[in-house]
Amino acid sequence: MREYLDLVDRVLSKGTLKHNRTGVDTISTFSEYMKIDLSEGFPLLTTKRMHFKSLLHEVLWYLSGEDHIRNLRKHTKIWDAWADENGNLETAYGRYWRKFPSAQVNPATGQYEVKEIDQIAEVIRLLKTSPNSRRMVVSAWEPGNALWSKLPPCHYSFVFNVQDNKLNCHLTQRSGDIALGIPFNIAAYSMLTQAIAQEVGMALGYFSHTIVDAHIYVNHVDGLKEQLKRKPKNLPKLNITHKPVDELKFEDFELVGYECDEPIKFEVAV
């Protein structure tokens, strides 16, 4: 996937050294952007092996709206470092996607009452009833939670947009780990876009991505330089059973034709 390798090259060549909360310095740039045509294939990185099953379990976990990882950790440990001993997660993306707390004034009492908003359901409703809407926004950023959460959402907001009956998705990310997180983010939101497009009867358009602080941890540099030497292979195809998003199960997804280079191990900065 050339767009990803170009991003790696830009950050390595133009980035500046920054200290951060993890204690491992990063090479960082401001406001990186990429745009990927989803009609060309499923954008799963081919210059190293990606763990597709973990990715799929994570996306289904988001869609479940769960605020814990007790079910997720049966399949993948990718969120274990940020959960407590009971599996509870201060910032679970799906919780905000499906149950975002909205404070509204009760006219009868004049007091605020909290109502949970299912943002994914609202996007699907608008795509079916008002596809030209410019209000199909999903947010995972809750300011109060961000004050005390161990890891507030990195990919915190995404917007759907329809052009010529093609569904596009733009993701905004406050912080992006180029080696580990970004490849997963690209594939996860592309998968979500495809699943929603199928439900509403639209073709695939583009996935675009803005990363405010795009960074490479210094202990990831060698692995990324190795990837820059590798030639991207043809993208695989993702088949998803044609059913509503909320009915999709693990077995409804099939990755076809995935050819990739050997895996590269990167340490996670917690």
- The full set of domain ranges for the chain reads 2-256
Cβ proximity of 35 and 206 under 8 Å = yes
Residue 195 — pLDDT band, cuts 50, 70, 90? very high
pLDDT of residue 83: 86
260 is catalytic: no
Arithmetic mean of pLDDT, 52-71? 94
Return the bridge partners of 160, or none: 169
Considering the chain, what is the average pLDDT of its residues?
94
For residue 191, report the phi and psi dihedrals to the nearest 5 degrees: -60, -45
Question: What pLDDT score does 209 carry?
Answer: 98
What pLDDT shows up at residue 8?
A: 97
Strand partners, 166: 163, 203
Q: State the catalytic residue, choosing from 1, 7, 34, 154.
A: 154
For tokens 């499906």, the residue is 98
Domain 2-256 CATH (choose: 3.30.572.10, 3.40.50.300, 3.40.50.720, 3.40.30.10):
3.30.572.10
Confidence label for 268 from pLDDT (cuts 50, 70 and 90): confident
Task: Tell me what the mean pLDDT of segment 154-170 comes to.
Answer: 97
Unique residue bearing structure tokens 């940020």: 82
Burial class (CB in 10 A: 0-12, 13-18, 19+), 19: exposed
Copy the structure tokens of residue 223. 């692995």
What is the distance between the alpha carbons of residues 223 and 265, in angstroms, rounded to a whole number? 8
Report the pLDDT value the prediction gives residue 270, as an integer from 0 to 100: 66
Q: Residue with structure tokens 């997720």?
A: 72
